[in-house]
Amino acid sequence: MRIAMISMHTSPLEQPGSGDAGGMNVYVLNTARQLARRGIEVDVFTLATRPSQGEIVEVEEGLRVINIVAGPYEGLSKEELPTQLAAFAGGMITFARCFDLDYDVIHSHYWLSGQVGWLLRDLWEVPLVHTAHTLAAVKNAHRTADDTQESEARRICEQQIVDNADLLVVNTAQETQDLIEHYDAPPERIVVVSPGADTELFTPGTDRNTERSRRLLGIPLHMKVVAFVGRLQKFKGPEVLVRATAELIKRDPFRNVRVIFCGGPSGANATPETYQNLARELGVERYVRFIAPRPPAELVAVYQAADIVAVPSYNESFGLVAVEAQASGTPVIAARVGGLPIAVDDGETGLLVDNHDPEAWADALEQLLDNDERRIAMGEAAVDHAQNFSWAAAATQLEAIYADAMSIQIPDCHERRAAGY
């Protein structure tokens, strides 16, 4: 089996936590790795961003990342990438022709890739499997009043993909309902595949590991530590955590707490300075610290150094950070949105907050920061809970989905004319 994965707007090899790189990058890289280890040939097609990358990057046996030149290497925002869809599709066609490659299935990730996949599905006469990761209609339904609205053009493009993909892969049952409610997706073409976590890398820290992690990060050993891991954009909710911190300090000016934000800016209106300035305005700048995104091998130290990981997103298709944190033995406080109620076992491995009111978040943080026994017990339970999610299991499901997709008959021109297309 040979799979053409498309991740046009962001490479799986990019550092998650900044720019457009996030949970989707982790998902694509880890599922592709596990598929390759099952003997499936996987090529991941992505947009070239610098000439030094080379056209083909051999990640491991059976897995390659193909950098397609489409438009300038730099200077195009994600919102401008639709102008390069034809160029990107042309680059994929040329690559497959030059190396005499035939793919059995196309698996596109995100709507930009889905548009390319839709074209190649009919050209190559192979099935299209699509994973949206985020949906315009859902983001608009959950965004704050001052956040940028997703365009109607994107929603229309997503509707076209839903109408034409052979199978739609989602992370949770909630995403299934979102596709049915907002895009009239046929339920029989939707398959749920839970993402995973690298539970061999993300492991609980011993007291010595926690001490070492805090020393590496420059965090006093006696402090209670709350960590935020992810892109610094309004939709991820960093402002909620800054304001909740201010509420905590207002309640107890002598509280020994540090809040670490590990991530980079994403989007036109997001910079670290935005949230640093907010912390300064609220008088809590000395309690808040911002650090750059880390590769997974270093991100473990952030999870292990934290007493709590906060995920105040306005929506998450699943919530990989929540699972990675729990695998590392750290309880999670998360918003009760999207797939987070599946990722976090409320009351057992963390707490779910019903809204984004800073006072409600301060209440939840206070519950665990002030109750060492409960917090530690949750961290221990979190490790077991995280074992339910693995990339190997996700890849096993995907292989079966690809096999099902290959059995779908793609209508040829004669059949289309007979059916009245």
- 302 closest CA partner among 286, 320, 324: 324
Please indicate if the annotation marks 189 as binding a ligand. Answer: no
Please indicate if the annotation marks 294 as binding a ligand. Answer: yes
| Amino acid at site 363 | D
Please indicate if the annotation marks 78 as binding a ligand. Answer: yes
Please indicate if the annotation marks 10 as binding a ligand. Answer: no
Backbone dihedral region for residue 365 (phi beyond 0: left; psi -120 to 50: alpha; all else: beta): alpha
Burial class (CB in 10 A: 0-12, 13-18, 19+), 170: buried
* β partners of residue 109: 131
Please indicate if the annotation marks 84 as binding a ligand. Answer: no
Give CA–CA dist 96/110, Å, rounded.
22
Please indicate if the annotation marks 251 as binding a ligand. Answer: no
Helices (H), 167-319: 173-183, 207-217, 238-251, 272-281, 296-305
Please indicate if the annotation marks 22 as binding a ligand. Answer: yes
Please indicate if the annotation marks 304 as binding a ligand. Answer: yes
Please indicate if the annotation marks 316 as binding a ligand. Answer: yes
Please indicate if the annotation marks 183 as binding a ligand. Answer: no
Please indicate if the annotation marks 314 as binding a ligand. Answer: no
Give CA–CA dist 274/179, Å, rounded.
34
Please indicate if the annotation marks 24 as binding a ligand. Answer: yes
Please indicate if the annotation marks 21 as binding a ligand. Answer: yes
Give CA–CA dist 30/394, Å, rounded.
9
Please indicate if the annotation marks 306 as binding a ligand. Answer: yes
C-alpha angle 211-213-216 in degrees, rounded to nearest 5: 110
Please indicate if the annotation marks 372 as binding a ligand. Answer: no
Please indicate if the annotation marks 17 as binding a ligand. Answer: no
Burial class (CB in 10 A: 0-12, 13-18, 19+), 240: buried
Please indicate if the annotation marks 16 as binding a ligand. Answer: yes
Burial class (CB in 10 A: 0-12, 13-18, 19+), 166: buried
Please indicate if the annotation marks 287 as binding a ligand. Answer: no
Dihedral, 16, 233, 318, 36 alpha carbons, nearest 10: -20
Please indicate if the annotation marks 324 as binding a ligand. Answer: yes
Please indicate if the annotation marks 236 as binding a ligand. Answer: yes
- Which residues are documented as binding site for UDP-N-acetyl-alpha-D-glucosamine? 15-16, 23, 231, 236, 294, 316, 324
- Going by the annotation, the residues of the binding site for Mg(2+) are 303-304, 306, 330
Annotated binding site for 1D-myo-inositol 3-phosphate: 9, 20-25, 78, 110, 134, 154
Please give the annotated binding residues, written as ranges.
9, 15-16, 20-25, 78, 110, 134, 154, 231, 236, 294, 303-304, 306, 316, 324, 330
